Amino acid sequence: MNKTAIALALSLSLLGCQKSEEAPTFTASKSDSIEASASLSKEQPLIQLTKEVIDSQVELVNAKASFTSRGMKVTLLAKDNPNSGVNIKPSEPWDLSEFDDFNLAMDIENPGPHSVQLFLNITDIDGATYTRSVAVPVGEKATYYAKMRGHDLATPDGDVNQELNFLSGLRSNPETWESGDVQFISMWGKKNLNLKGITEISLSVQSALFDKHIELSNIRLRPNPEMNTDFLTKIVDKYGQNATVEFPGKIHSQEELIQARETEAKQLDNKLMPDRSRFGGYKEGPKLAATGYFRTEKIDGKWAMVDPEGYLYFATGLDIIRLSNTSTMTGYGFDDGLVDLGGDGVTPEDSKGLNRVNDEAIPSRHIVSDVRANMFNWLPSYDEPLGKWFGYRGSAHSGPVKKGETFSFYASNLERKYGEQDPLEAWEQVTLKRMKNWGFSSLGNWTDPRFYQNNEVPYFANGWIIGDFKTVSSGNDFWSPLPDVFDPEFARRADVTASNVAEQVKNSPWCVGVFIDNEKSFGRSESNEARYGIVINTLTRDGKDVPTKAAFTGLMKKKYGSISALNAAWGTKIASWGAFNAGIDSSIRNEVQLADYSEMLFHYGEKYFSVVNAALDKHMPNHMYLGARFPSWGKPMEIVEAAAKHVDVMSYNVYKEGIHPKSWEFLQDIDMPSIIGEFHMGARDNGLFHPGLIQAATQEDRAQMYIDYMHSVIDNPYFVGAHWFQYMDSPITGRAYDGENYNVGFVNVADTPYAPMIKAAKEVNSKMYPRRFK
């Protein structure tokens, strides 16, 4: 057995550490309990947590540890740092490549008082990391596991692929064996790591609002049990629910759907909360200048929106009040030459609704993915009433099926539930009643324009700038390439978008403002190369073809004058400005060059936001521009500062447990009203296979986490609102665009509200104005 494989026969021992946060020290010693063989026929300890002193291989990050006979007690601190964790780094990488079918398991106990979402990061010798996560409930010890290799699946063409490749198109698959253990949920990163060398295993929490406590023990490798090869077969019933398990609120019949409708109807009184103005503002607070439209103002050191009548206004609400994201890929397709979907040039396919194929294409329907097609116990035929809820996607962001037929179980359940009426009209009226009854003051982003003239609940409009303008790259373009904002075609398309949104809104005072675009890949924080990717990649290109490159050339030429002056500052040997414009080696050499990259990135950002702002000022002068909703992973300060010059409200999508003060100190410098565009929590107790990006232990726990998150927003003087993502759960088999199959709805696939979430929303919304404005 090779030297690193012998590491499997070594256990790590931990010395009980002092109450300081210094890392304990460790050494390696051979464990008699390990088989001297690479065959993994039974469980084998990987890490044994004892009091014996050995090497320094465990790092505590913003955490404290103590030790018992059962393992290591860890307190993950919340106050001083948004991230806390335990990093285990062996003196030599673990070589696990000889094991074919195994998982990493550990026992975790949570003494409380809060559930703990743990992120498990496993890193290999190539620097690749696979991130998984799990919510550990308060209570007794349980076993949690992460597959490291296997199971193997045979594909129709005879290839063998590991189940970790997620050929299903789901963000997280059903478990492939039954047990009382809990699987870590797949999140992101490289799923099949290089098992020749595992360099680090870490457990951490992110942006926790409270100290979290766990007891960790018995970290071990286990052989995988026999695989259930039918784990993806017949997993969805005719209502779009998990067909294999029972859970509270599961629908079994048409009668149960109707009963749920009637029971809820008795609870919806269609009234606003008592302290609300007509537009949802704070009627019991001060009345400021009324402009007839929403605006912002800073009051007693706190930013606020002001409603059209002059009342202080704080925006709460739900995103995705539309059917566009309720469809899932069925595994069927059509002959491409027969499909004719058309398009309006301003709406991305994912926002167009169900987008059913033309009748001429239907006879060519055929299976393109047996795996997908076999997931469903039932799909309607095209000629029966529920067949109207079929759709089509001409492209997908991710997943094995790149285009094909879709079906919306949520929409078909609306037909079943409200079929005696126009189901969408009934759904619209029920939705407006819910929003008022639940105390939400707005309809969030990506609300169907059918709600734009509702004149009962304020809403946030949205648009996308799409077209044939040139593009640039940040080197990590998550959703799509970035626009070349100096291309005149970008400004023309921005004008078209703003005109289209204005036509939908019709100058309605009920429109709070407009989001344009979403989660652009402006740059990441991991390194200077990731942060300045737009600049680094664009500088290598030819300014004759790339207007943004020509703009960068002009900016540097204006600053330095001569190319020799730039060379002296950058430590380069560029022959001329012509050579600079034609494309250069843009590697970062020194701090002066880095400062210039920062200036160029700001130049790009300012052009983007100024172009969009000008288009909105032209077509929608009475409505606020709310920015592009920065993701927490993509908000370089140069872009943030550029946005602040041109938007009315800054917007951020923040999938964390809350607004951790340390992460948001920069708001003091920006001093702009800000809004959370997206956040959510989900659980695994309702039959869905993935809880979401932020994970709770139960429905009751996610309701409490919602309250805690909202309080962190309400208590921050810079935020003027927060929208939950999203109104309904994702499809259990994943939304058509990218496979998200999350429990993140306020209602489930049967349009039944989650009672704990409704109770939590009423609690937050009924008290938010006094809490915010005292």
Tens of pLDDT, residues 345-361: 788 887 888 889 999 99
Biggest CA–CA distance in the chain, Å, is 80
Give the torsion sign (CA, 558, 560, 561, 566): negative
Query: Which residue is associated with the tokens 């990135």?
Result: 601
Give the pLDDT of residue 15.
Answer: 27
CB of 691 closer than 8 Å to CB of 118: no
Token pair belonging to 573: 């040997």
Give the torsion sign (CA, 275, 277, 278, 281): negative
Average pLDDT, the chain: 91
Give the pLDDT of residue 31.
Answer: 33
CA–CA separation, 442 and 459 (whole Å): 5
Give the pLDDT of residue 156.
Answer: 54
CA–CA separation, 385 and 412 (whole Å): 9
Closest by Cα among 744, 736, 702, 625 to 332: 736
Closest by Cα among 338, 359, 341, 358 to 349: 341
Of residues 419 and 158, more confidently modeled: 419
Tell me the mean pLDDT in the region 635-664. Answer: 97
* pLDDT band, residue 12 (cuts 50/70/90): very low
Tens of pLDDT, residues 468-490: 999 999 998 888 899 999 999 99
* H or E element, residue 140: strand 139-149
* Residue % of the chain over a pLDDT of 90: 83
Give the pLDDT of residue 94.
Answer: 94
Tell me the mean pLDDT in the region 136-162. Answer: 82
Token pair belonging to 622: 């009475």
* pLDDT band, residue 16 (cuts 50/70/90): very low
Give the pLDDT of residue 11.
Answer: 34
CA–CA separation, 771 and 635 (whole Å): 29
Tens of pLDDT, residues 243-283: 999 999 999 999 999 999 999 999 999 999 999 999 999 99
Tell me the mean pLDDT in the region 626-646. Answer: 96
* H or E element, residue 3: none
CA 444 and chain centroid, separation:
16
Whether 325 shows a pLDDT value over 70: the answer reads: yes
- 189-to-127, 131, 332, 476, 682 alpha-carbon distances in Å: 11, 6, 29, 13, 21
Instruction: Report helix, strand or coil for 385.
Output: helix
Q: What is the dihedral of CA 541, 546, 552, 553, to 10 degrees?
A: 70
Phi, psi of 625 (to 5 degrees): -95, 120
Give me the CATH code for the 5-223 domain, please. Answer: 2.60.120.430
CA–CA separation, 714 and 768 (whole Å): 7
Instruction: Return all residues near 503 (Cβ < 8 A) that are at least 6 apart.
Output: none
Strands (E), 301-356: 302-306, 312-313, 315-318, 327-329, 332-333
CA 537 and chain centroid, separation:
26
Give the pLDDT of residue 161.
Answer: 65
Residue 493: is it exposed, middle or buried by C-beta count within 10 angstroms (0-12/13-18/19+)? buried
CB of 104 closer than 8 Å to CB of 148: yes
Tens of pLDDT, residues 171-197: 999 999 999 999 999 999 999 999 999
b/e sequence 636-654, b meaning 16+ C-beta within 10 Å = bbbbbbbbbebbbbbbbbb
Provide the terminal-to-terminal Cα distance of the chain, rounded to the nearest Å. Answer: 69
Give the pLDDT of residue 155.
Answer: 59
> 208 forms bridges with which residues in the sheet?
none
* pLDDT band, residue 167 (cuts 50/70/90): confident
Query: What phi-psi label fits residue 254: left (phi over 0), alpha (psi between -120 and 50 degrees) or beta?
Result: alpha
pTM score, whole prediction: 0.93
* Position 611, amino acid: V
Tell me the mean pLDDT in the region 53-62. Answer: 71
* H or E element, residue 484: none
Rounded (to 5) percent helix, strand, coil in the chain: 25, 25, 50
Phi, psi of 547 (to 5 degrees): -55, -35
Q: Is the peptide bond before 252 cis (omega within 30 degrees of 0)?
A: no
CB of 41 closer than 8 Å to CB of 223: yes
Closest by Cα among 303, 331, 332 to 315: 303
Q: Give me the residue spans of the domains in the chain.
A: 5-223, 259-313, 330-414
Query: Which residue is associated with the tokens 């927003």?
Result: 713
Give the pLDDT of residue 158.
Answer: 56
Of residues 596 and 45, more confidently modeled: 596
CA 516 and chain centroid, separation:
18
Of residues 14 and 55, more confidently modeled: 55
CB of 694 closer than 8 Å to CB of 705: yes
Instruction: Return all residues near 564 (Cβ < 8 A) that are at least 6 apart.
Output: none
Give the pLDDT of residue 56.
Answer: 61
Whether 30 shows a pLDDT value over 70: the answer reads: no
Whether 5 shows a pLDDT value over 70: the answer reads: no
* pLDDT band, residue 507 (cuts 50/70/90): very high
Give the pLDDT of residue 7.
Answer: 36
Whether 14 shows a pLDDT value over 70: the answer reads: no
CB of 356 closer than 8 Å to CB of 339: no
Give the pLDDT of residue 50.
Answer: 58
Low-confidence winner among 80-84, 165-169, 607-611 (lowest mean pLDDT): 165-169
- 238-to-210, 243, 324, 413 alpha-carbon distances in Å: 41, 9, 20, 9
Whether 34 shows a pLDDT value over 80: the answer reads: no
Token pair belonging to 242: 């998990």
Per mean pLDDT, which of 2-16, 56-70, 549-563 is the most reliable? 549-563
Instruction: Report helix, strand or coil for 666.
Output: coil
Q: Cβ atoms within 10 A of the Cβ of 265, count?
A: 10
Phi, psi of 552 (to 5 degrees): -65, -40
